[in-house]
Structure 1
Amino acid sequence: MAFKKSLKYILFLVLIVGLGLLQSFSKKRSGSKKINKITVNFQDDKALFLSPDMVNKLLIQNVDSLTNQAKSKLDLHNLECKVIENPYVARASVYLTLTGQLETTVTEREPIARIVSQSGSFYIDSKGVKLPLTENYTPRVILVTGIETPEAVQNITPLLGKIYEDEFLKKELIGVRMKANKELEFQVRSADYKIAFGKINEVDIKFKKLKAFYKKSFTDQIMKDYKNINLKYHNQVVCTK
């Protein structure tokens, strides 16, 4: 009886050791396999500023070639960091498949406005992150002038985000200028009049007033008669001809 128990115990140990050796061998064999393909995917198929070839170049910086390189020698975190260093990239994920394929998924930053200042011109995303201009892509976004400091960019970014997320405002408001008194003035697509927005306050209320005014005025066919629309006054839209 005691012999049978000892035998079972020995067989169990042999099994455990065997599985460990097998796993170690399998891991070593997998690590020695070569990268046979590099695939770049864009989140929601949105490739705006970058292309798969451009991402590939980011991946192989300081590396002669990723293909035919042993999987065990790859530093995936380092590869991700190289991709994320690009100003157009919001997030990146780099991983290996069981078949030896290097997969990269990129989420690009989405521009919501173009800032034109004395120091230069650039796009910003919904977080106020600067995106350089590029010949690869020219987004149709609102043009912003009169913004000269990083603080001013951050202050106006939430307002610009609301415009970008609203189909009507995004289509109609094509330009905004911050005047010396820190008040905003909008340029519109449909006519030559200006919209005096005032300071960056009560943003939702002002846009709600504007949309309600547009709905009524376009119905009455009177928008073409105005030169200025003023949203600065509480519960009022003041127009001048």
Structure 2
Amino acid sequence: MRVNWNYIKLSFLAIAIVGLYGFADFRSKNKKVVDVSIKFLGDNNLYLTETSVNKLLIQNYGTVKNRTKEELVLNTIEEVVLSNDMVKNAQVYLTVNGELITKIVQRKPIGRVEGVSKFYLDDLGERMPLSKNHSARVPIITGKITGKSLEDAYTILNYINEDDFLRKNVIGIHIEEEGKYQLKFRLENFVVNLGGVDNLNEKFKNFMAFYAKAVKDNSLEDYAVVSLEFDNQVVCTKI
């Protein structure tokens, strides 16, 4: 019987490849974590520290350094990191060199509620706890805090943050009641009665026209209240 050496060679080659793959897989699974790196992405990295993330991992998952890849469950580590109220998004992965990297995007506060409960309102309109590490310089929200009034405050803050002048100068939103909102400016003594959140573009367009004229006339200090509540007009109350 004639021996087909080609089949034999292919069989040995297949066995060798499977063996090498299995050996490589065994080494990969048993490779230990040699370093842990925490990276904060973006420019909003003031409310959470690397130390606090490491502490969170140790308390809820245990030490990850010197553990093998097979022992790690990356999805679980991500869930642990995401459980922190300051974290908006997180990605955890292991490099071929054995470095466990955690990339974190922190939440961004756009307003601070000062009431019976104190908390931030973030850029998604969700409640965000205050941080022990940093106090955000954002408009203060006071008055009658309800679910609806916070939704409206979020709408106002989003509009303010889209305008360079308003973002730099509005320091407070006071809620008199649902549908009646008042703005406080950084350098001016008057308050702005905004009314509701309807027609914000028209209201602020009218306000900016008033403000430019009042600056030109040097009359800003003459006013106590500037009202934008009425359609297509600015009504001012002098001191």
TM-score, normalization: structure 1?
0.91
SS in 2 for 1:137: coil
Matched, 1:224 2:206: no
Within-5 A mapping of 1:170-209: 170-180=167-177, 182-209=179-206
Q: Which amino acid aligns with 1:73?
A: E
Spell out, residue by residue over 1:40-84, the C-alpha distance to the aligned partner (whole angstroms, 9 max, x if none). 100125321111111111222244421111111001111100111
Within 2, Cα distance between the matches of 1:204 and 1:17?
72
Identify the residue that residue 156 of structure 1 maps to in structure 2: 153
5+ long unaligned stretches in structure 1: none
In structure 2, distance between residues paired with 1:198 and 1:62 = 47
In structure 2, how many angstroms separate the alpha carbons of the residues matched to 1:186 and 1:110?
21
**Greater mean deviation of Cα atoms: 133-142 or 180-189:** 180-189
Q: Which of residues 130, 133, 138 in structure 2 aligns to 1:136?
A: 133
Alignment counterpart, residue 114 of structure 1, candidates 112, 137, 147: 112
- Give 1:38 deviation, angstroms: 0.6
Paired residues, number? 238
- 3-state SS of paired residue (2:133): coil
Check if 1:146 corresponds to 2:104.
no
Equivalent position to 2:79, from 81, 93, 98: 81
SS at match of 2:14: helix
Q: CA deviation at 1:223?
A: 1.4
Distance 1:7 1:46, change over 3 A: farther
Identify if the C-alpha distance between structure 1 residues 229 and 34 changes in structure 2 by more than 3 Å, giving closer, same or farther.
same
Paired residue secondary structure (2:188): coil
Q: Describe the SS at the equivalent of 1:114.
A: strand
Preserved CA contact (<8 Å) 1:144 1:177? yes
* Per-residue CA distance 1:122-158 (angstroms, 9 max, x = gap): 1010112211123310111001112422343233212
Look up the equivalent residue of 2:27 and give its one-letter code.
R
1:46 pairs, out of 44, 47, 54, with 44
Gaps of 5+ in 2: none
Instruction: Please report the TM-score for the alignment, with normalisation by the length of structure 2.
Output: 0.91
* Farther off after superposition, 96-105 or 196-205: 196-205
Contact 2:170 2:185 in 1 (8 A): yes
Secondary structure of the equivalent of 1:179? Answer: strand
Q: Aligned residues: percent identity?
A: 35
Partner of 2:20: 22
Moved over 3 A (4+): none
CA distance in structure 2 between the partners assigned to 1:84 and 1:181 by the alignment: 33
Q: Which amino acid aligns with 1:77?
A: N
Partner amino acid, structure 1, of 2:55: K
Give per-residue Cα distances to partners, 1:96-119, cap 9 Å, x unaligned.
Answer: 01100010000000000001223x
Q: Can you list the C-alpha shifts for 1:207-234, whole angstroms capped at 9, x where unaligned?
A: 2222233233223322122111111122
Task: Tell me which residue corresponds to 1:11.
Answer: 9
* Preserved CA contact (<8 Å) 2:171 2:186: yes
CA RMSD of aligned residues (A): 2.0
Stretch deviating more after TM superposition (70-79 or 149-158):
149-158
